[in-house]
Amino acid sequence: MNNEVGNFSKKRIQEEPVFTSDINIIASIPDFNMINEVIYLLTQGKEKEYIEKQIFEKNIFGIRTLKSRKRFLAAIFANFIKFKTEEHKKVFFSLFSQQSFLQLKKIALYIQFAINNRLFYDLTSNVTIKLYKEGRLLVPKEEYISYLYDLRDKNQDLQKWSNSTIDIIASKYLTLLKKLGFLKGSIKKEFCNVDIDNPTIVYIVYLLKSLNYKDPDFLKSPFINILPISKENLFLRIKKLSLIDYFKVYTLGDDLKIELKYNYEDIVNVINQNYRSKI
């Protein structure tokens, strides 16, 4: 692999996401399997130049214009092929090196996008999950438009966003959640019942631990806030004896400290062996 793809320079690993409208680009990818395939090729040692040839020249995903192909691939790299630590890269790539785990991959992409895209994180944690935990069935676009107006008012960098730009972002955001399996419906979007099963919880624990946040309390991770499961429920399920094989847990009041038992690059194979019938 070349340095950009294989080694991931420290600058690229550590840089913080900023507000962008990449949600529009990612949601517009006609064949969403393109994201999985790009990541898979990287896990198999393919260089970026090889992937570009497959997409730009051979057009393996049937995308009409070269400009669109370039835009989609650039957005995939910017939002999914960016890592906080080497452990983060290992646990993420280990999942996408597998041909199975289709539902888990959607959840991993959802979390990975939130890690690398500030706007997606803010919309999800401040609007989507609040609606979900309130028990709302319908997901009105107006809620997102209102939030984006307020965000624009508070951020100088977003002053250039027109009302029509905000409307498009809100629409594309909902389209993206539908493609990731969190919403259903065409004109009116509704929440799906997202199944956070035991294999998913195990993987999420390893993924979030790989980010290496300083606070030892696992539940203090900011990305707990985007999960369609309450902290209380997550706390109880992690403590279940059925999960003890994957990590040790230590509790003090509401604090939850986790000590992993497997390497980041091995956990997906372990999950595969133990939950073969569920993937």
Secondary structure (3-state) at 259: strand
- Measure the CA–CA gap between 98 and 105, rounded to whole angstroms: 10
CB atoms within 10 A of CB 175: 17
- Measure the CA–CA gap between 238 and 225, rounded to whole angstroms: 16
- Return the closest-CA partner of residue 196 out of 132, 250, 123, 127: 132
Name residue 192's amino acid: C
- Measure the CA–CA gap between 132 and 246, rounded to whole angstroms: 29
Which single residue is written with the structure tokens 């409208």?
Answer: 21
Q: What's the DSSP call for residue 137? A: S
Per-residue pLDDT of the chain (279 residues; tens, 9 = 90+): 444 444 444 444 445 547 899 999 999 999 999 999 999 999 999 999 999 999 999 999 999 999 999 999 999 999 999 999 999 999 999 999 998 999 999 999 999 999 999 999 999 999 999 999 999 999 999 999 999 999 999 998 899 999 999 999 999 999 999 999 999 998 899 999 988 999 999 999 999 999 998 899 999 999 999 999 999 999 999 988 667 789 999 988 888 999 999 999 999 999 999 876 555
* pLDDT per position as a tens digit, 138-190: 999 999 999 999 999 999 889 999 999 999 999 999 999 999 999 999 889 99
